[in-house]
Chains A and B, each alone.
Chain A
Amino acid sequence: MRLTAIYIFITSIFTAFSTVFASAPINLQRLDAPQVSQQVIDRVLSLGQLGTASLMLALGIIIYALIAGVLGITRRNAQLQTSARYAAVATFLALSTAMMCMEAALLTDDFTVQYVAQHSSVPAPLWVKVVMLWGALEGSILLWAWILSLYTAILAMNTPNHALRPWALNIMQFVQLFFVLVLAFVANPFTLNASGLFVGPGPNSLLQNHWMMAIHPILMYLGFVGLTVPFAFAMAALITKRPGSEWMRLTRRWTLMGWGFLTAAIIAGGWWSYEVLGWGGFWAWDPVENVSFMPWLTATAFIHGIQVQERRRMLKSWNMMLIVLTFTLSILGTFLTRSGVLSSIHAFGDGPVGIFFLIFFLLVLFASLGLVVMRWDQVRDHSELDAVVSRESSYLLGNVLFLAMTFMILLGTLFPLIVELFSGEKVTVGAPFFNQMSVPIFLAIFLLMGIGPLLPWRKAEHQSVIRNLLWMCGVGIIAAAIAYVLGIRRVYPLITIAISGYNIASLGLLISAAVVPRARLSKRNSLQVFRQYAFENRRRFGSMIVHLGVIVTALGIMGASAYRIDEQVKVDFGTSTQFRSYELRAIDMFEEQVPGRGTVGANVEVWQNNRKIDTLRPRINVFVHDGVTQQQPVPTADVLYRVQHDVYLTLSGSLSRDQAFVILRVVQSPLVMWIWIGGFIMAFGTLYCVIPSASERKQERLAMQGSPTNSGNTIS
């Protein structure tokens, strides 16, 4: 009780301090722009100061939580530990206040806050103002910190009382400490607008141009933060010398959810790039894309690695290193893209933030790898692979391939830096490098993805392996033969199609191996048995759904990259031109003026076999920030989404009123839609794994009540 009182005392001191600090008068005389409403000027309590105060409050609580957390453990004081847990909730509340301050400032166009003055604008639509919170550097770190505090609070309140919990919470708090320190002292989004002028360029037009930008960063941070949870528990397991499988079991859902969000974020990013960047592509091996892809690769390896550990007590140190890599790569990525060391289309530009992320990255990397080394005796594997052909060896090989891929991308991303350091020449590593390297690795991974789940643990019977492989290869060859007859002649697409057929056969074999014997035993019809199997073995069946999504995405990527057609055509208004099987009729041009945005575009009808399919309206948007033309005009594509291929139109060059023609860039990407559909299937499959089945729920209820069940071995 006494400790709770101390805690309340400290928080109230912070609150009092922040209130005094926040209500200090501010000089608004120089804000002479008419756009600032009287309401903002009359504000006694500046949102900027209130925001900074809540950041300081959060900082104080985090420091308290860390001290209480560590003391609670060393002194075995349960009250201190409880207090630290409640402090996690308090941190969340303080950061929520900061978020609300920022949203309020954005929505009321409070240009006394520099972030708002720089990145928002009065005429911007409501949704742009709302999402501008994470549209630029400082705000996006605030969002990251807030999600982190949300997860920490949920963990603090929801994790069963377990020996790992106190340390895991301390690690989460430590990560939070870093983010809030950066927010408070390096990249404070609530810095007051000292000059009082509208200094900034307003919202980035590329972000303003598509709603996808509203969700992509959130998904990304939900993913990164989700994967921080297993990292925290892994470190807790090392510190407390309990490096068994408990930490993985406790965080299984967090891991899967983090992975699912990251997957969705990457796919959403590709879709945004497709719709917004005007070149009709979805992935350019741009540094920003690469740094989000690397943690995804290591996380994917991790998800497979922990299954080997749960089943075979192997790969302990390997899994530790994978989760350390996953977490640190997400920090490294932030350093690379936010520090200006790498130029990229969507890098956030230079800033002082980068170096702190680099320091944090090195600190975490060395500390956690050091911890692994210190506990080497405990995490070392004692058992060896029983056979080369077994589930675990296929997972291990897959893991190695995922790591090779990560290394290759890291090398390609950093190589320009290395070259510039040694020769002073400025180079970029082109997409061909990444394609040449990643396509074979991915095809090899897909081969393993098909056979791996069919192999039993420990040692496979050669006969059944060969029978399965015959089936799979047979289906694969038939698929490739059909594709060949349909006119596909290029090698990689044929291989991709063959491997997809092989994988579909593998999924069929997996399901039939599960369903047929059960149906025979119970004498029920196999559809019923299948339904029961799918509902009860959520984890296994969910993984099949995810693998199906992977195949669908792979086919989409294959079609859209190998058979992409990209042409420029000139069409006079009132006439038409032929593009492949389509007829493009340029009808007329249109203009639109809304507050904050001017648009010119062309109405283009798409006809096929004398039937009108759609009218596309490719256009050029010019976003206006406070009466001045802002940034570059953004050519905005309009896309005809079709199952077999998209027709993607952008205006090439400028379009003016006296122009009698329009120049169109037409991109036809076969199967591109299936990339997004595959991504959706992957996200759904992940969700399917995460939602517990009825029997799992029952077990968890028992576990929460503290009865000693050995849940880990039965949930599978």
Chain B
Amino acid sequence: MKKLIYSVAAVAILAAAGFMIYQALNTSLVYFILPNEYANDPNNYKNKRLRLGGLVEDGSVDFNTNDLKLYFKISDSIKSYPVTHTGAPPDLFKENTGVVVEGRFQDGVFVSDNLLIKHTEVYEAPEDGKINVEALKESLE
């Protein structure tokens, strides 16, 4: 009898713990994708927190020093999306630099709360204007 109670209790606790872990994991997974991956399947990433990687598009950067809002477009040469970020651009933030922004899509605009500069050479000199997307992703990871 005692054993039965213990085992039932153990199973119940394990089930509760498993459920809690599942819930917590589900809500806090952050997907790392490039703009074209989002474009392929936006519903899959709806309302999910994302790490979006890509290059800062030429001529897209605008930093408003009054409300400290940074606007730019992030691109992987296939697809690009507008990004808003609160805060000044980091020191090495330039056009065509690799960046990873963390946040969510809201009405087609990526709202970022964390902006990281990634330094790699893969995409610095694309030969025919085309970028190897897989290599780009690898290098931004």
Residues of A with Cβ closer than 8 Å to B? Answer: 343, 404, 408, 411-412, 415, 419, 425-433, 436-437, 568-570, 620, 632-633, 635, 652-654, 661, 663, 665
How many chain B residues touch A (CB < 8 A): the figure is 30
| Interface membership of chain B positions 24-48, coded 1 if the CB is closer than 8 angstroms to chain A and 0 otherwise | 1101111111000000000000000
**A663 touching B24 by the CB < 8 A rule?**
no
**A425 touching B31 by the CB < 8 A rule?**
yes
**A568 touching B20 by the CB < 8 A rule?**
no
Q: What residues of chain B lie closer than 8 Å to A570, measured between beta carbons? A: 65-66, 68
**A433 touching B117 by the CB < 8 A rule?**
no
**B141 touching A433 by the CB < 8 A rule?**
no
**A430 touching B28 by the CB < 8 A rule?**
yes
Q: A436-B24, A652-B88, A665-B87 are in contact. Are A430 and B30 (CB under 8 A)?
A: yes
A-B contact pairs, 26 of them (CB 8 A): A411-B25, A415-B25, A425-B32, A426-B31, A426-B32, A426-B137, A427-B30, A428-B32, A429-B25, A430-B30, A432-B28, A437-B21, A568-B86, A568-B87, A569-B68, A570-B66, A632-B91, A632-B117, A632-B119, A635-B90, A652-B87, A653-B63, A653-B91, A654-B90, A663-B68, A663-B87
Q: A343-B141, A568-B87, A620-B91 are in contact. Are A431 and B65 (CB under 8 A)?
A: no
**B30 touching A428 by the CB < 8 A rule?**
yes
Residue with the greatest number of chain A CB neighbours at <10 A, chosen from B27, B49, B65, B91: B91
State A431–B117 Cα separation when bound (angstroms).
21
Q: What residues of chain B lie closer than 8 Å to A412, measured between beta carbons? A: 25
Q: What residues of chain B lie closer than 8 Å to A433, measured between beta carbons? A: 24-25, 27-29
Cβ distance A344 to chain B, nearest Cβ, rounded Å: 12
Cβ distance B79 to chain A, nearest Cβ, rounded Å: 18
Q: What residues of chain A lie closer than 8 Å to B93, measured between beta carbons? A: 653
Q: What residues of chain A lie closer than 8 Å to B86, measured between beta carbons? A: 568
Dominant SS among interface residues on chain A? mixed
Dominant SS among interface residues on chain B? mixed
| Interface membership of chain B positions 78-115, coded 1 if the CB is closer than 8 angstroms to chain A and 0 otherwise | 00000000111111110000000000000000000000
**A429 touching B90 by the CB < 8 A rule?**
no
**A426 touching B141 by the CB < 8 A rule?**
yes
Cβ distance A477 to chain B, nearest Cβ, rounded Å: 27
Partner of A633, one of B51, B89, B92, B137: B92
B17 adjacent to chain A (CB < 8 Å): yes
**B88 touching A404 by the CB < 8 A rule?**
no
Residues of B with Cβ closer than 8 Å to A? Answer: 17, 20-21, 24-25, 27-33, 49, 51, 63, 65-66, 68, 86-93, 117, 119, 137, 141
Besides A432-B27, A433-B29, A653-B87, 7 more A-B contacts (Cβ < 8 Å) are: A415-B25, A427-B30, A569-B68, A570-B68, A635-B90, A653-B63, A654-B90
Cβ distance B115 to chain A, nearest Cβ, rounded Å: 11
Cβ distance A681 to chain B, nearest Cβ, rounded Å: 31
Q: What residues of chain B lie closer than 8 Å to A431, measured between beta carbons? A: 28
State A568–B33 Cα separation when bound (angstroms).
28
State A268–B31 Cα separation when bound (angstroms).
31
**A436 touching B31 by the CB < 8 A rule?**
no
State A431–B30 Cα separation when bound (angstroms).
10
Q: A429-B25, A432-B27, A570-B65 are in contact. Are A437 and B87 (CB under 8 A)?
A: no
Cβ distance B65 to chain A, nearest Cβ, rounded Å: 6
Q: Which residue of A lies closest to B140 (CB)?
A: A426
Q: Which residue of A lies closest to B20 (CB)?
A: A437
State A419–B28 Cα separation when bound (angstroms).
13
**A404 touching B65 by the CB < 8 A rule?**
no
Cβ distance A655 to chain B, nearest Cβ, rounded Å: 9
**B88 touching A568 by the CB < 8 A rule?**
yes
**B20 touching A653 by the CB < 8 A rule?**
no
State A432–B21 Cα separation when bound (angstroms).
12
State A581–B49 Cα separation when bound (angstroms).
34
Cβ distance B89 to chain A, nearest Cβ, rounded Å: 6
State A308–B46 Cα separation when bound (angstroms).
51
Q: What residues of chain B lie closer than 8 Å to A343, measured between beta carbons? A: 141
**A653 touching B66 by the CB < 8 A rule?**
no
Cβ distance A120 to chain B, nearest Cβ, rounded Å: 21
**A429 touching B28 by the CB < 8 A rule?**
yes
**A408 touching B21 by the CB < 8 A rule?**
yes
Q: What residues of chain B lie closer than 8 Å to A432, measured between beta carbons? A: 24, 27-28
Q: Which residue of A lies closest to B26 (CB)?
A: A433
Q: What residues of chain A lie closer than 8 Å to B87, measured between beta carbons? A: 568, 652-653, 663, 665
Q: What residues of chain B lie closer than 8 Å to A429, measured between beta carbons? A: 25, 28-30
State A431–B24 Cα separation when bound (angstroms).
10
State A633–B87 Cα separation when bound (angstroms).
17
Q: What residues of chain A lie closer than 8 Å to B33, measured between beta carbons? A: 426
State A397–B49 Cα separation when bound (angstroms).
36
Q: What residues of chain B lie closer than 8 Å to A404, measured between beta carbons? A: 17
**A568 touching B68 by the CB < 8 A rule?**
yes
State A653–B119 Cα separation when bound (angstroms).
17
Q: What residues of chain A lie closer than 8 Å to B30, measured between beta carbons? A: 427-430
State A425–B20 Cα separation when bound (angstroms).
23
